[in-house]
Amino acid sequence: MNDSVPNPLHGAVFWRAAVALDHLPPDEGTEVAFAGRSNAGKSSALNTLVGHRGLARVSKTPGRTQELLFFQLDDRRRLVDLPGYGYAATSAARRRDWGQVIPAYFEQRQSLRGLLLFMDIRHPLQVGDRQLIATANALAVPVQPVLTKSDKLGRGAAKAALLKVQRDLAVFDAVLEPLLLSNLSGAGAVQVRARVAAWLAEGD
């Protein structure tokens, strides 16, 4: 982890939550969305990237994020934590709602510049991950896959997992090469932050 590199996401604060598209804040400025299965470490990754351990709620119970949560960097730049998916205890109605809201959010939100997709490096590209990637790709939303919990594997195994995911995703036009991230040590955070900062810097 390179602490000498300034964190471009430092200072993010919780702003508001939305349970439906008509609750979203004004569609202006730029925003980057965070998505992932309920056990992929998405909330922990958000905290790691902004450098604030308590910003996003982290729970041992998967599926706690059930709204679109908006975190503001300033009056023009935002991070959006999307509801986690793939949690068996989530009601069918809730899964149906998310299945409608998230694609509509991708399609309608003009301020959205890209999607960070977090996947456990030991279990990447599950059904929900593939569905989300296909939806984003069809709508030309750039996707940055991030393999979390990279510290759970040795260096060689982590590299092999990274290369396999890269090969599997090569068929998608809007998907970038995957990055590794350890929420434990912060390794890889500089690279992921740079991608988010680049998206947020794109013009309105």
User: Could you tell me which residues come within 8 angstroms of residue 155 by beta carbon, excluding any fewer than 6 positions away?
Assistant: none
Q: Nearest Cα to 36, choosing from 145, 169, 185, 140?
A: 145
Instruction: Check residue 57 and give its pLDDT.
Output: 62
Instruction: Check residue 175 and give its pLDDT.
Output: 96
Superfamily of domain 13-200: P-loop containing nucleotide triphosphate hydrolases (3.40.50.300)
Q: Nearest Cα to 145, choosing from 156, 155, 133, 137?
A: 133
> pLDDT tens digits, residue range 116-144?
999 999 999 999 999 999 999 999 999 99
> pLDDT tens digits, residue range 153-200?
999 999 999 999 999 999 998 999 999 999 889 999 999 999 999 999
Instruction: Check residue 3 and give its pLDDT.
Output: 56
Q: Show me where the domains of the chain are located.
A: 13-200
Q: Nearest Cα to 41, choosing from 100, 92, 117?
A: 117
> pLDDT tens digits, residue range 33-42?
999 998 898 9
Work out the mean pLDDT of the chain and round it to a whole number. 88
User: Could you tell me which residues come within 8 angstroms of residue 11 by beta carbon, excluding any fewer than 6 positions away?
Assistant: 50, 73
User: Could you tell me which residues come within 8 angstroms of residue 46 by beta carbon, excluding any fewer than 6 positions away?
Assistant: 34, 55, 56, 71, 79, 81
User: Could you tell me which residues come within 8 angstroms of residue 112 by beta carbon, excluding any fewer than 6 positions away?
Assistant: 31, 32, 33, 80, 105, 106, 141
Tokens read off for 163: 């290369």
Q: Residues 161, 153: contact at Cβ < 8 Å?
A: yes
Q: What is the pTM of this model?
A: 0.89
Instruction: Check residue 94 and give its pLDDT.
Output: 55
Is the pLDDT at 15 greater than 90? The verdict is: yes
Instruction: Check residue 88 and give its pLDDT.
Output: 47
Estimate the crossing angle of helix 127-138 against helix 92-108, to 10 degrees: 30
In the structure, what pLDDT confidence band is assigned to residue 20 with cuts at 50, 70 and 90? confident
Instruction: Check residue 101 and give its pLDDT.
Output: 85
Q: What's the CA gap between 7 and 9, in Å, rounded? A: 5
